[in-house]
Chains A and B, each alone.
Chain A
Amino acid sequence: MRRKYESKLIEEILSLIDSRVEYDENTRELAKTILLAFKNEGRKGVEKMVENMMEGKNLDA
C-alpha cells in the first residue's frame, strides 16, 4: 500500500505507527492502510475498504 513517493511527514507518521509496539502487527498495518487509503481516496476509499473487509475480502489486513 505504500506509494513510491511519500512526503517526509507521511514517512514520519508511518514510522511513528510502527514504533507503537504495544499494538499488534495487524492493528499497525491496518492503521497504515487506512491512513494511506484516506490520503489517496478520501473518506469513501476508507468506507469501501471497510465494506470489503466486512465482506471478508481482506481478512489478512
Chain B
Amino acid sequence: MPNGLKIESLEIKGFRSFNLPRKFELEEARFILLIGPIGSGKSSVLKAIEYALYGSSYEITRLGLIRLKHEDMVNDFSDLLNIELILKGEHRVRIVRGRKRGRPGRLRVYLDNMPVKNDVERFLRDVIMLDHEDFLREIVIHHLILRDIVEGGPVRRSIALDRLFGIELLEQSYKSIPLTMVEKKILEYERKIGELNLELAKIGTFHDPERIKSMEIDINRLRNRIETLQREHKQVESMLSEIEETELRRKLLLERYYSLKSQLEEIDGKLDRVEEISTVEIISDIEDVLENARSLFRDMLYEEMAKELYKEPRVVLKEDIIEKLNRILLAMNNIMKDLEYKLDNQLNERIEYKRRYDVLRGKQIDLESEIEKLIHYRYEYTDLVKKYGLPDDISKRIEEYEAELLKLGRKNRQLKNIWDLLKVTIDRIELEKRTKCPICGKELVSEDLENMRRRKEIEEKDLVNIIRKMEEIESKINELRDILNRIRGMEENIRRLEELELEKEELERKITKISNLLHHAEENIHIVKDKMRRARYLKERLSDLIEKLTIYFERKSLLERRRDIQKNLESIKEELEKLRYEESRYLKLKKRKEELEKILFEDKVKLESLLREYEKLKKDLERAKDFLKRKEQLERKLEYLRKLYKYLENVRKLLREVQADLRVRMLKRIRSNMNKTFKQLYVHPDLVEVDIRAVETPKRSVYEIYVRRGSDGTWIPIYSKLSDGQRLMIALSLLLSIYKLYPHNIDFILLDEPFANINGECRRSILKLLADTESPSQIFIATQDESIIDLVKEIVGKDNMIAYKLTYGGIEGPKVTRIC
C-alpha cells in the first residue's frame, strides 16, 4: 500500500463554477497557493479534491436544512462532471470521478496505470485510510472553525470543538431522544386507565354471574307458562273463528237470498213492461226484408253481396240474427252512401250539361243576331251585280273609260295649244296689224284675221265639247269605282256571313248532343232516387226488425234469468236450514279468550321487563370484561413504556458519559502536540503552555481554554486576558494538532482562508511552522490576499511553491493562471 499520498495533478471539468477543463500541475511544490477574489473558484478547487476522493461533499452529507444534491455539483452550463486527481506516494494512484446529469456517478481508479476492477470505492478508502468525516476534520481547515474557536462564546466554542473532535454527534444524538414524547404517551395511558377504572366503578357489582343464572331460570319458567297459555288461546281462537265463520256464512247467504229476491222482483217488473212478440210473425218479417234486400242488391249489381246475405235455408231465431241483420243494415248504409254519391255525381253532371247547354244557346243567339245584321249585304250585292255586272267586268269598263279619257285629254291639249296660238296671233294682228305665222312663218295680215277668228271659234266649240265629254267620262269612272268599292266591301261581309252560318250549323249539332245528354242524366237521377227510396225503406224495416228482435231476446233472457234466480233461492233456503248458530257457546268462548289475552299480556310485559334487565346485566358483564381486558392491555403497554422511558434515560446518560470520556481522551491526545505547535508559533515568552479543559455546568459541559503565564506560572482563561491574535495562534495550534489524530495516508492539508484577522507577524509564524513540519508535506492555501505569495516565497523559497491565480471567467468557468 502507498504511504504519504500527495497530489500530483488535478483536472476539473464541469464541477461547480468550473465548466471548461482546468488543470493544476503541482510538481514537487510544498506550498500551493490559490489566489483570487470571492467567487473566483478557490474553494471549488479544494472541494473538487474532496469530491474526487469521496464522491461527495460536506454540503451533500450534512444534516440540516441547507443540503445540496449531487446534481448541484454539476456546472449549470454543462451536463458532465469530470475530476481527475493523481496522487503520488510509493505508488501512483489516478482517480477519475465523473457524473452525467440525471445519472449515477462513476469512479475509475488506476494503481500505477493498472485499472482497479472490483469494489473501487473500498479500494480507494483503504488506500487513503481515512473516512470522509475524518477527512473533513483532519485535512480541511476552514476559517469559520477558527472564528468560532477564537470569537465564539462558551456554547459556540464547545460546539465548534466538539465538531472538530467529531463528538458533537453524541450530544446531538442524546438530545434527539424524544423523552417528552414517551412521557406524554405514559400520561395518556395513565389517563385512559383512570377512565376505565371510573367506568368499572360505575358498573359496580351488578355483573354478578349467579344473579344472571337465577334470572335465566325465572325467564324460562315464565316462557313455559306463556307457551301453555298461548296454546289454550289458540284453541279458543280456532273454535271462535269456526263459529264466526258459520255466522258469517249465514249472513252472507241471507244477504244473497234478499238480493236475489229483489232481482226477481225487478225482472218481473221488466217483463211487465216488455211487449210479447210472436216468433212466426218476426220470422216472416225477416224473410220479407231479406228478400227485398236481395232484390235491391241485385238491382245495384251487388251479386256477391246478394248471395252472402243469409246462407241458411230457413231463418232461425238465435242471438246472432241481430248481428247478421246489423251487418245487412250496415251494407244498406253503404249502399245508401253509394247511391248518394251516385246521385251527387248525376246531379253535378246534369248541372254541367245544363250549363254547357245554356252557354251554347247563348252563343247561338249571338250568332243569329250577327247573321241578321249581315244578311242584307247579300241582297244588295245581288242587286248591284245584276245592275253593274261582276267586279271584274266593272274593272274592265273603268279601264276602257280611262283610255278614252286619256285620248280626249291629248286632243284637248292639242286644241288648247291651237286655240292659244290663234288667240296670240289674233291679238298681235289686232295690235300690230300683221304678224308671222308661228307654225309656218307665213306673213299674216288683217285679212287673215277673220279666218283666224272663225277658226278660233270652231276650235273653241270643239274644246268645249271635248271638255264636256271628258267630264262625263270622269263622272262615269268615279261612279263605277264607287260601285266596285261597295261590291268589294260587301264581298268581305258576305264571306263573314258564310262563316257565321257554318258556325251556327256546328253549334246546333252540339246543342242537340248536349240536350240528349241532359235528358239521359235526368233519367239516371230518377233511377238513383228510386233505388234510394227502396234502400231507405229497407233500412227503416231493418231498424224496426232489429229493435223488435232486441226486445224479443231481452224478454227471453229475462225469463231465463228468472228461472235461474228461483232455482238459486231454493238452494239458499235449503242451506240456511242446515246452518245452526249457537250464541251462548260463542259468548262463553269469547269471554275465555279475553281472560287469556289479559293474562298473556301481563306475562309478556313481565317477561319483557325480565329480559331487559337480563340483557342489561349481560351487557354490563360484557362491558366489564371488555374494560378489564383493555385495562390489562393498557397496563401492559404502560409498563412497557415506563421500561422504555427508563432505557432511554439510561441511554442519554450513557451517551453523555461517553461524550465526557471522549472529550477527555481527545484533549489528552492533542495536548502535547498542541503545546509543541503553540511554542513554535508563539515566540514570545509571556505565554508558555496551553490547556483545554472540559467543564461540567448544570445545563451542559463546555470547554474552557487556559494558558499559563510565563511570569508567575498562573493558568489564565484566554477569552478574558488574551488578544484576538494570541487566541488565533492557540486555535491554529489546536487545529494543526488535530492533523493525524488518527493515522492515515494523506500527506497534504487544505487551508481555506486561514489568515483572516491574522497580522503579518503571526502569518509569518504560521507559514514558518507549516514549512518546518515534516508532515504534511503538501499545503494548499486558498486566500484572497496576494501578499501571501511574497511571504511564502520568502519563507520556503521560489522552488518550493506554486501559485495559481483564479479570476472570474463567465460561462467557461474560472480562468486559471500560474503566476509563480
Q: Which residues in A have some Cβ–Cβ distance to B below 8 Å?
A: 5-10, 12-13, 16-17, 20, 23, 26-28, 30-31, 34-35, 38-39, 42-43, 46-47, 50-51, 53-54, 56, 59
A9 to B174, CA, bound (A): 17
The residue from B166, B174, B177, B658 contacting A7, defined by CB atoms under 8 A apart? B166
Residue B411 is within 8 A (CB to CB) of chain A in the complex: no
Which residues does chain A contribute within 8 Å of B651, judged by CB atoms?
27, 30-31, 34
CB <8 Å contact, A39 and B169: yes
CB <8 Å contact, A27 and B654: yes
The residue from A13, A20, A30 contacting B167, defined by CB atoms under 8 A apart? A13
CB <8 Å contact, A47 and B178: yes
Which residues does chain B contribute within 8 Å of A53, judged by CB atoms?
644
CB <8 Å contact, B662 and A46: no
A13 to B579, CA, bound (A): 114
Which residues does chain B contribute within 8 Å of A16, judged by CB atoms?
658, 661-662
Q: List 24 A-B contacts (CB under 8 A).
A: A7-B133, A8-B134, A9-B131, A9-B165, A13-B167, A13-B169, A13-B170, A13-B662, A17-B654, A17-B655, A20-B657, A20-B658, A23-B650, A27-B651, A27-B654, A31-B654, A31-B658, A34-B174, A35-B173, A35-B655, A46-B177, A54-B641, A56-B637, A56-B640
Which residues does chain A contribute within 8 Å of B640, judged by CB atoms?
56, 59
Which residues does chain B contribute within 8 Å of A31, judged by CB atoms?
651, 654-655, 658
Proximity bits, B739-754, A CB within 8 Å = 1, else 0: 0001000000000000
A46 to B131, CA, bound (A): 23
Which residues does chain A contribute within 8 Å of B181, judged by CB atoms?
47, 50-51, 54
Residue B341 is within 8 A (CB to CB) of chain A in the complex: no
A31 to B177, CA, bound (A): 10
CB <8 Å contact, B177 and A13: no
A9-B166, A30-B651 known; A50 vs B178 contact (CB < 8 Å): yes
Residue B132 is within 8 A (CB to CB) of chain A in the complex: yes
Residue B63 is within 8 A (CB to CB) of chain A in the complex: yes
Interface residue tally on B, bucketed by range: 35 or more
Number of A-B contacts (CB under 8 A): 95
> Nearest chain-B residue to A50 (Cβ)?
B178
CB <8 Å contact, B177 and A17: no
Give the Cβ gap from A13 to chain B, nearest Cβ, in Å.
6
Which residues does chain A contribute within 8 Å of B185, judged by CB atoms?
54
CB <8 Å contact, B178 and A5: no
Which residues does chain A contribute within 8 Å of B650, judged by CB atoms?
23, 27
Chain A CB within 10 Å — which of B125, B170, B641 has the most? B170
> Nearest chain-A residue to B121 (Cβ)?
A5
CB <8 Å contact, B131 and A7: yes
A20 to B661, CA, bound (A): 11
A43 to B253, CA, bound (A): 99
Which residues does chain A contribute within 8 Å of B647, judged by CB atoms?
26-27, 30
CB <8 Å contact, A43 and B176: yes
CB <8 Å contact, A8 and B178: no
CB <8 Å contact, B178 and A38: no
CB <8 Å contact, A5 and B125: yes
A56 to B634, CA, bound (A): 12
Which residues does chain B contribute within 8 Å of A26, judged by CB atoms?
647
Give the Cβ gap from A56 to chain B, nearest Cβ, in Å.
7
Give the Cβ gap from A4 to chain B, nearest Cβ, in Å.
8
Residue B648 is within 8 A (CB to CB) of chain A in the complex: yes
Which residues does chain B contribute within 8 Å of A43, judged by CB atoms?
172, 176
A42 to B134, CA, bound (A): 19
Which residues does chain A contribute within 8 Å of B637, judged by CB atoms?
56
> Nearest chain-B residue to A24 (Cβ)?
B650
CB <8 Å contact, A9 and B133: yes
A9-B133, A13-B662, A28-B654 known; A50 vs B177 contact (CB < 8 Å): yes
Which residues does chain B contribute within 8 Å of A13, judged by CB atoms?
167, 169-170, 658, 662
